[in-house]
Amino acid sequence: MANIVLGVGASHSTLMNTHWEQTTHKAEAQRFRDGLYAARDRIAAARPDVVILLGSNHFRGFWLDLIPPFTLGVGECIASGESGTPEGPQQVDIAMARHLADSLVEGGRFDPAFSARLQIDHGQSHAIQYLLAGLDVPIVPLVVNVFAPPLPTFERCAEFAVALREAVAAYPADSRVAVIASGGLSHRLPWPDWRDPHGDDEDFMVRAWLDGRENWADYDVRRRQIIRAAEAAISPEFDNRVLELFSLGRAAELGGYGTADLEDAAGNGAQELRTWLMMAAMLDYIPGERLAYEVVPEWLTGMGVTVLDPARQPVAR
C-alpha cells in the first residue's frame, strides 16, 4: 500500500518572482525563501514517488461559470505560467489520481469533481517552482475552492482529507507519498464577494471572473494594478498562533473556524489555510516543525513554512 512520508505547508506569492528587487524587507524575504529551500531538501530526503499538491485557484483555471469545492486532476495538468511561475504541461501520476477519485466516490462520502485537462495557476505552480525544483516527481493536483463563496467549510475540508488519506492507504502499489499544501497565511486580496460587488474595481473583478476563460489577457493589466495598489493586512499574532498549532500537533483546531470568522481575523487570503488543514489531517495531525515565518508587506502576506515528518516523531515507549 502507499505510505504518506511527509507533509509541507507553505505560503505563496507571485510578487516573490515579479517584485523581488522592489522588496524592501529583503532580509525577511530571503529568510522565507531559505525556508522554502529547506522544505525542498526535506522533500528530496523523503524520496517521494508522488506528491499530492493541495492548492487554490485564482480565477485562471476556474471561473464563475463552474466552481466545484474540490477538483482532482486525473489526466493532463497545464500550468498557466503567470508572473514567472512554471508554464505548460506538468507531470501527473495518473494511476494514483484516478485511484483517489474512484476511491472517494465509491466510499460514498464524497463526490469530488475531476478534470482530465486541469489548468492550475500559482496557487499550485508556485509550490512546483520552489518546493519541487530539480525533483523528478509527478504530482496529483487537488484544487480547493477558497475564493468564490460559498466555500467548503473547514470541517468539511478536514473530513475530505481523512477520506483522501484512507484512499492513499488503499493504493495497491508500494508508493511513497508527500503532501504539499500551498497558500496562506494572513493576507487580504482586493477581491470582492462576487455576489455583492461594490464600486468600479469590484465590478471589474467579477466581470473578469465571469468572462475571463476565453480572454483573460484583456483583464490582466488592470487586475494586476488593483492588486498592487492594495495595502498589506497581515496579522503576525494570528499567523504565529497557526504555526504554533501545527508545531503542537493541534492543527485540527483550525476546523473550528467559520469562513466569516477567519476573514475577520486574518483576511480573505487566509481562506487558503483549508489546504494546510487538509495536509495536517492527511498526516493524522502529527506535531510539525516551523521552518520559517516572515512578515513581507510588499507581498501583502504573512509568509510561513512548516513540515510534518512522521520519521521525526518521538518513539512511543
The model's pTM is 0.96
Statement: residue 315 has pLDDT above 70: no
Statement: residue 222 has pLDDT above 50: yes
Domain ranges of the chain: 3-189+234-312, 191-229
DSSP string, the chain: --EEEEEEEE---THHHHSTTT-S-HHHHHHHHHHHHHHHHHHHHH--SEEEEEE---SSS-BTTB--SEEEEEEEEEEE-GGGS-EEE--B-HHHHHHHHHHHHHTTS---EEEEEEEE-HHHHHHHHHHSTT----EEEEEE--SSSSPPPHHHHHHHHHHHHHHHHT-SS--EEEEEEE--SSB--S---TTS--HHHHHHHHHHHHHHHHHTHHHHHHHHHHHHTPPP---HHHHHHHHHHHHTT-GGGGGG--HHHHHHHH-GGGGGHHHHHHHHHHTTT---EEEEEEEEGGGTEEEEEEEE-GGGSPPP-
* 42 compared with 216, residue with greater pLDDT: 42
Kindly name the residue from 12, 58, 126, 187 that is annotated as catalytic.
187
Statement: residue 34 has pLDDT above 80: yes
The CATH superfamily assigned to 3-189+234-312 is: LigB-like (3.40.830.10)
Percent of the chain with pLDDT over 70: 99
Kindly name the residue from 12, 99, 122, 126 that is annotated as catalytic.
122
How high is the pLDDT of residue 121?
A: 93
- Model confidence band, residue 60 (pLDDT cutoffs 50, 70, 90): confident
Mean pLDDT of 187-193: 89
Statement: residue 302 has pLDDT above 50: yes
- Model confidence band, residue 229 (pLDDT cutoffs 50, 70, 90): confident
Assess whether 25 carries a catalytic annotation. no
Mean pLDDT of 210-239: 87
Give per-residue pLDDT as tens, 122-158: 999 999 999 999 999 999 999 999 999 999 999 999 9
Assess whether 198 carries a catalytic annotation. no
